[in-house]
Chains A and B, each alone.
Chain A
Amino acid sequence: MNQIKLVTAALDALMVEFENRIDRSINAQVHALKTRLQSVPEVLELVPSYRCLLVYYNPLKHSEQQLKQVILTALEQPLESSDEAAEIATIEVCYDPSVALDSELIGAQTGLNTEQLAALHSGLDYWVYTLGFAPGFAYLGDLPQALQLPRLATPRAKVPALSVAIANQQTAVYPHSSPGGWLIIGRAVALPQLRAGQRVRFVAVSLADYQARVERP
């Protein structure tokens, strides 16, 4: 707890800063504090990220000092840092090269074929660290070491909607078509509304299944 700092972020917001690392257990504490503060009347809005929680309040009603006290009180009980209890969202993904626009590039850099890439990417549960960049864009981690590759040198002007992409230790599903520099490893059948602090499991589907599902959802 002694590593947590409270810093002014705006005239109506305080930043709660946890330990300065990208780490599931630290991020789980961020979300645990968010859950704890959600029902507190002094708090207007909460924005979690990897290791920070932005807390908005109303300066008409409360001072920064009062908000600090509210947060410190919420921090008195230890925060749950385990992700075991988190709800799991399942996302079906087609890893076929016809929709995995960078499968060739990823294959060349990792030495793995399509089946191996699919098995590796869908072989473990991910954690939703935070949402941002675009509405509904969830940053998931951590990727297996073998899939940790840098972004494209030149971002794509248009990444197709529902593309499943990887970059460094993270993976994500583009909710809408947008520019983007992550490597595209597959295409999701559909994207449920993800929330930070959830777990995500990818399930590989064949191209035939994908086409059937997309045509008749």
Chain B
Amino acid sequence: MTSVARVIKAGFHTSMQDFGRFGQLAMGITRGGPVDERAFLWANRLLDNSYNAAQLEITMSECRLEFSAPVQLCVTGAATEIRINNVTQPSWQVVSVGPGDQLEIPAQQQRLRSYVAIRGGFLANSCEGSVATVRRDSRGGLHGDGRLIADGDLLQAAVFNDQLPARRPHRELLAELLSKPSLPLRLGIIPSGQFQQFSSAAQQLMVEQTMQVSSAYDRMGLRVIAQQAIPWQGEQLISEPLAVGSIQIPADGQPIIMLNDRQTLGGYPKIATLSWLARCQIAQAGAGTPINFYWQELAEAQAQWRQVAQFFHLPRSG
């Protein structure tokens, strides 16, 4: 393990993430991990890494690193291009850099989260088997205490003697991954939780209006603006376990989508859960993005995830 890079400019919310901290929910410890799993898993795959290798998740703002060793890296997610020593290069491909080289991930206006992966993954001491940063739980990250990446931090990784080819996803797929999504975003949801206790009017309102991502979002969850509120006539719930991707309906009828750092228990009724692909799509949706939910069968959503899991060699889902 050796220091391979120094953070010149961290940006306002950059965190170290592996695939997540699993098996601790009963202790009140949430998962963490990449919000856009697709972008994260692609970067690790292109670098021949384990699916779980730690990366940096950058949220919207510019981020700059300076390398002190020869490494191979890959940037995916929101950034469609990167700069190495001020020379623009495409993202989503394996790039080689050496001592003194600077990598810049430009600030993003439209999409939210970019990922910087390095061959072998960034290294840090793990808490409960994971380096995933969860600020609220004071866990993970470079120092193991949930701190975000800061200017001046030194990033550790293994150094390799051989070189990987400068590969990237095949052309059509890459074009799809880089293209601007067509709006409104179409997000598949499966009925879950208290779905049966919502009125059929409420179930229809979920899919028969175009909603908008509000400006209230972070790694715990995001609020959605629904012109027509989703009504809940049932009683108050006794707090119960909450899955990543589930959609809570609080008393004001404005849906809340739970993301990776969600609290382990929640007291609002849930009407649906996002499919895996829908979670990856919403991970990149900034304030004001119009969205249309559509109902999906559980079997269909599971079949989609099984393909993903096989492609990326995932042992389990989020």
Contacts and interface: CB of A to CB of B under 8 A. Distances in A.
Q: Do A and B bind each other?
A: yes
Interface of A: 7-13, 15, 20-22, 34, 44-54, 56, 58-60, 63-64, 130-137, 176, 195-196
Interface stretch (B89-97, B160-168, B172-180, B241-249): B241-249
Contacts of A58: 315-317
B205 interface: no
B76 interface: no
A135 B137 contact: yes
A50 B28 contact: no
A8 B270 CA distance: 11
Contacts of B193: 7-9, 15
Contacts of B263: 132-133
Contacts of B25: 45, 47, 54
A7 B192 CA distance: 7
Contacts of B265: 49, 130, 132-133
A56 B238 CA distance: 20
Interface of B: 22-29, 136-139, 190-193, 196, 238-241, 243-246, 263-265, 270, 273, 275-276, 298, 301-302, 305-306, 309-310, 315-318
B239 A50 contact: yes
Most chain A CB atoms below 10 A, which of B28, B243, B306: B28
B29 A135 contact: yes
A9 B227 CA distance: 26
A18 B24 CA distance: 22
Given A9-B193, A176-B138, 20 more contacts: A7-B196, A8-B193, A9-B273, A10-B243, A11-B301, A11-B302, A12-B318, A15-B193, A15-B240, A22-B238, A34-B26, A45-B22, A45-B23, A59-B305, A59-B306, A132-B28, A132-B265, A133-B28, A136-B28, A195-B26
Contacts of B27: 131, 135-136
B246 A10 contact: yes
A11 to B, nearest CB: 5
Nearest to B266: A132
Return the 9 tightest CB-CB contacts between A and B, nearest first. A132-B265, A54-B241, A10-B243, A47-B241, A52-B240, A131-B28, A47-B25, A59-B302, A12-B317
A42 to B, nearest CB: 12
A42 B77 CA distance: 34
Contacts of A48: 26, 241
11 contacts: A10-B273, A12-B302, A47-B25, A52-B241, A54-B25, A132-B264, A133-B263, A133-B265, A134-B136, A135-B138, A176-B138
Most chain A CB atoms below 10 A, which of B29, B191, B241: B241
Contacts of B23: 45
A54 B26 CA distance: 10
A60 B26 CA distance: 23
Contacts of A131: 26-28, 264
Contacts of A8: 190-193, 273, 298
A60 B309 contact: yes
Contacts of A44: 316
